[in-house]
Amino acid sequence: MIKYSVQALLDGDRLIDVQVILEGRIRHLAGKRGLEHELARVSDLPTSGILPVFLGSGLGL
């Protein structure tokens, strides 16, 4: 069994990243410049009726 922990990183009430600690190493699901990448991905999406979905290690998949 692989032991790891997952923690939401918040800025106030806003989720900005998910931190995964595995074998003493810290990883981030958003990666380097996560906010910049997120803004680039969502800039062309419609503004209503869409919710973000995070998929990855330790999130129940």
The pTM (predicted TM-score) of the whole model is: 0.51
Pairing of strands 25-28, 4-11: unpaired
Mean pLDDT across 49-59: 65
**Helix/strand/coil for 43:** coil
pLDDT at 61: 41
CA dihedral 43, 33, 57, 17 (to 10 degrees): -80
- The size of the chain, in residues, is 61
10-33 pLDDT per residue, tens = 888 888 888 889 888 988 887 777
